[in-house]
Structure 1
């Protein structure tokens, strides 16, 4: 008897390829952060092809997990300067994007999220200048990125630094944040646990 393909056991490579598909789909705006987190948790613990296929059914160009080719993200040249401005509403820079040498962020009434989790980092340092008149700036960084917020002036608001670099990992990037907060908040946090668990598992093990 030939078993149903959906009941066949998935390998670590199968799970990794599905996780990559989910990450790219989230970067394209097809999945929300909550949906990505839920699907990553399921993908990382999936036992069969059937459990993995369910996660890709509503995404384009789906195919069986066993035949998925690794996703290749086209490299985007990093700019020297990028400016982000939010006058109202929400502005997010995340997914696969090229980190510049200097990033200027201004918000007069809105929220700005800068996610470095899946970003292409070409330079060892990022000069992040912020001007928060009213609103919030969220910086999402993995543990191999260090963030220095000592040069930020706070008049009315707060800075919450919730992550610290992992000394066991080589540092990829140092972010030096400067500027002012007149009325608002800056939050520095790590990625969601499910996604970072996947990233840790992909790190080469030291001998």
Structure 2
């Protein structure tokens, strides 16, 4: 293979976070990079086969990064920020669409609502730590999807409601665990799946065969 691959624990080069587990999407992205590189003449057929085998069996982001260290970086799995802070009074805050989930968040709210919609979010790690400070009228809403779990065991609450509605059934692989800590002194915390569209609700309410 062109280019020497460093051991997983070598912090002098790529793969400085070998503890981050790779997802199927991460592997697919690297496979695409390798195939494009081979098509451009950057890799021989033998090198491509060797790296494809390694990519498909890679366990960590570090393993994948080493396979593309000597290739153009377009299309590499995105790297999440370590920390995002939200400090809001009045007005609402929303994260939706294909936003990149960080490793940690600090959220402080008063007289407003913050909504984190994970429906189409880009997840590159398996745990999100959120330190919250919810004051009067400060509400946090989490829109989940199958494979996302919400843990509030470390949250201190003096007032306000906590409503956690699972979006996943037994046997669903864990994609992300959201761990909430901090305190709620008057705000609500709600975790729920996306609301069904009216057409989906109507379909569930309509007996089979009616309207055909």
Same fold by TM-score greater than 0.5: yes
- CA shift for structure 1 position 74: 9.9
Take 1:97 and 1:76, find their aligned partners in 2: how far apart are those partners?
11
Q: TM-score with structure 1 length normalisation?
A: 0.55
Equivalent in 81, 84, 92 of residue 83 of structure 2: 81
Relative to its length, the structure with more helix (as a share) is 1
Taking only aligned residues, the RMSD between alpha carbons, in angstroms, comes to: 2.3
Corresponding residue of 1:37? none
Question: Which residues in structure 2 correspond to 1:5-20 (within 5 Å)?
Answer: none
- In 2, the alpha carbon distance for the partners of 1:165 and 1:151 equals 22
Structure 1: distance between partners of 2:76 and 2:134 = 33
Pair 1:193-2:175 in alignment: no
Secondary structure of the structure 2 residue equivalent to 1:99: coil
| Match of residue 123 from structure 2 | 121
Checking the alignment, whether the CA contact within 8 Å between 1:76 and 1:97 is kept in structure 2 is no
CA contact (8 A) 1:107 1:131 kept: yes
Equivalent position SS for 2:115: strand
In the alignment, structure 1 segments of 5+ residues that lack a partner are 1-72, 198-207
Q: How many residues align?
A: 124
Deviations 1:157-184 (A, max 9, x none): 1111122532232111111111111111
Instruction: Compute the displacement of 1:96 (Å).
Output: 0.6
Query: Quick check: 1:167 aligned with 2:158?
Result: no
The equivalent position to 2:105 in structure 1, one of 78, 103, 123, is: 103
Contact between 2:84 and 2:105, CA under 8 Å: does it hold in 1?
Answer: yes
Aligned to 2:53: none
Give structure 2 stretches of 5+ with no counterpart: 1-74, 201-212
Task: Please tell me whether Structure 1 or Structure 2 has the larger radius of gyration of its CA atoms.
Answer: 2
**Whole-Å separation in 1 of the counterparts to 2:118 and 2:76:** 17
